[in-house]
Chains A and B, each alone.
Chain A
Amino acid sequence: MGKTLLQKVWDLHTVRTLSTGQTQLFIGLHLVHEVTSPQAFDALRARGWRVARTDRTFATVDHIVPTRERTRPFLDVMAEDMIAALERNCREFGIRLAGLDDDRQGIVHVIGPELGLTQPGITLACGDSHTSTHGAFGAVAFGIGTSQVRDVLASQCLALEPMQVRRIRVTGKLPEGVYAKDVILTIINRLGVGGGVGYAYEYAGDTIERMSMDERMTICNMSIEGGARVGYVNPDETTFAYLKGRPFAPAGDAFDRARAWWRSMASDADARYDDDVVIKAEELTPVVTWGVNPGQSVPVTGRVPTGRDTGADPKAIADALGYMGFKGGEPVAGMKIDVAFIGSCTNSRLSDLREAARIVRGHRVAPHVQALVVPGSASIKRAAEGEGLDQIFREAGFEWRGAGCSMCLGMNPDKLVGSQVCASSSNRNFKGRQGSPEGRTLLMSPAMVAAAAITGAVTDVREFTHAVGADL
């Protein structure tokens, strides 16, 4: 009987079984950011511990950084305190930091892959639930809290429970205008926001195999929104080609040796799965969320549920509709938006910006809409500017910002105001998520956000891609 990638990585990184029965797992890479680490560093200081493996630890700033005015000290005293604390902690404990002025700075889940730090077959941890993103490379990547950040800093290990593996095979050709974001939103809708608890999700099938690394990262990123702490794709030639030449990837002969090992870590053909799910790509459509969790979505051609739909929890639907101010049965297409946000660790990579720019080119943002594009990293910002994407966005009326988490989470100056409705390429539509206690989020692909920005309302992006396609 063969093994899954998860089992192989787990076995290889097991130090021992603890007295509690948990597994002590060695963590190959620890990524650190400003929000979930200060209390962990304080705990190390209080107990006189050092950082066990500074060579396997890397830090950046993303959550609270302003994306417009970056002059230090920040006007926001608390943000300044947090950045200063991370700088101080990294100096004191000897950790590499891609700080605010570093040309490698960016969202932690964007820069890990970009720098070649994220590699197949490794274990990875970060004090952020979207750490599952790194699974796109065939890494086993865990989102953790601050006490576990302390554990990893002090010991480079975590105490963990074993997981089951659910294979989700996506097969067939994705229709025009349907993106990786639509695939993962559909998966979460079908399996539920808690359906993945206890599981690692292995994304497989020919649709996934044809996807770029950017697309695989979008899929793995939102594993946690389906309750799965870990999500991964088996490493293949696409993965290896992406890694080649990256600053921290092995080079020369070492790259060839690494490639052979990476390949050997992929799930065996006869591996056993605890559950198996098939999704047919050709049946998928662009998807929009209408509610207050990422599972509450419908095709853009569909209608908001009424609560009388079979299989749905009427109380949860009523609660979500009450918050969103929507009526059951109304079509999602045509819903007016106030803000359009292209960014976040889910969809802020170069290919996302290119696709959004392709939709936007030659159009204007609707007069009542505030639209912003926030590249995931300083490096993506430079690359996009090199291609002139920033010009396309600016000319259309989008704001072009510096790299950071921005309006995904309401921890920096980019926030919704009052009950604004935001078409967002981010990952969470929770109540209050985008920084206003009454703010409303509609999750969708970056191309759909671009289309909504132009028309001022939720729009089927296929109306644009057809037109654009004819131009190309």
Chain B
Amino acid sequence: MHRIERIEGTALPMRGDDIDTDRILPARYLRAITFEGMEQHLFEDERAGSAGGDRVTSTHPFDDPRFRGATILVVNRNFGCGSSREHAPQGLYRAGFRAVIGESFSEIFFGNSMLIGLACLTAPPGQIAELQARVEQRPDATLRIDVKASICEFDGLRIPLSLPASARDALLTGAWDTTGMLLDRYEEVNAASAKLPYVSGF
């Protein structure tokens, strides 16, 4: 379990509100018993050559060679809504992404991402729009996220970021992988559950 204090890399702007996890990772690829290879199917149905995308020249940012190798995704409102499939953040993580900056996230997507070490941070709409525009102008420039200070810097632009204190602490202390923490002092779990009338059969 490692600590995540800084995240740096080039960025990829993915515009649009309410981008759901069915779009991020189509359901047919959930028919597998591992997460291996999920990165190959990100936004598959709307990218070049797909039935739902532009068959000739894709305008999809995930097909844009300027953003190849990006490790930070910049999105808009309610990103990752819909299905709880962890395959969506797993696909992003396996494609090399280490952070998503957006206006807001669906709670389930946020929780799934945090548990695999994919940091999700928010900023107001105006600043997201500016960041997306700047990244498009300078796709080769490095975006730097300081988790502790909750700030990002890009090409002279500084944007304060938000994330819940618990999420920030989890990243900074490496406590984002929760199972060990939940199993710690297990007698307390047993004591709490024993008090529940339905556990003891009323």
Binding site for B on A (CB under 8 A): 12-16, 18-22, 24, 26, 28, 35-36, 38-39, 42-43, 47, 49, 52-53, 56, 63-64, 76, 78-79, 81-82, 85, 119, 121-122, 127-129, 131, 143-148, 150-151, 154-159, 161, 193-194, 197-198, 224-225, 227, 229, 250, 254-255, 257-258, 261, 293, 313, 316, 319, 323, 409-411, 418, 428, 430-433, 435-438
Contact indicator B202/A250 (Cβ below 8 Å): yes
Contact indicator B106/A197 (Cβ below 8 Å): yes
Contact indicator B22/A20 (Cβ below 8 Å): no
Binding site for A on B (CB under 8 A): 16-18, 20, 22-23, 26-28, 30-35, 45-46, 50-53, 77-78, 81-86, 89, 104-108, 111-112, 115-116, 164-167, 169-170, 173, 175, 178-179, 181-183, 185-186, 188-189, 192-193, 195-199, 201-202
Residues of B within 8 A of A147 (CB): 86, 112, 115-116, 178
Residues of B within 8 A of A52 (CB): 186, 189
- Chain A residue with Cβ nearest B193: A26
Contact indicator A39/B34 (Cβ below 8 Å): yes
Contact indicator B108/A144 (Cβ below 8 Å): yes
Contact indicator A194/B198 (Cβ below 8 Å): no
Contact indicator B183/A197 (Cβ below 8 Å): no
- Chain A residue with Cβ nearest B176: A20
Contact indicator B23/A437 (Cβ below 8 Å): no
Contact indicator B104/A197 (Cβ below 8 Å): yes
CA separation between A174 and B181, bound complex, in Å? 48
Residues of A within 8 A of B89 (CB): 145
If A13-B192, A410-B28 touch, whether A143 touches B34 (CB-CB below 8 Å) is no
Partner of B52, one of A129, A258, A438: A438
Contact indicator B78/A194 (Cβ below 8 Å): yes
If A161-B166, A437-B52 touch, whether A39 touches B82 (CB-CB below 8 Å) is no
Contact indicator B196/A26 (Cβ below 8 Å): yes
Partner of B108, one of A145, A431, A432: A145
Residues of B within 8 A of A121 (CB): 198
Residues of B within 8 A of A24 (CB): 181-182, 189
If A85-B33, A257-B197, A437-B51 touch, whether A193 touches B78 (CB-CB below 8 Å) is yes
If A13-B192, A261-B202 touch, whether A430 touches B86 (CB-CB below 8 Å) is no
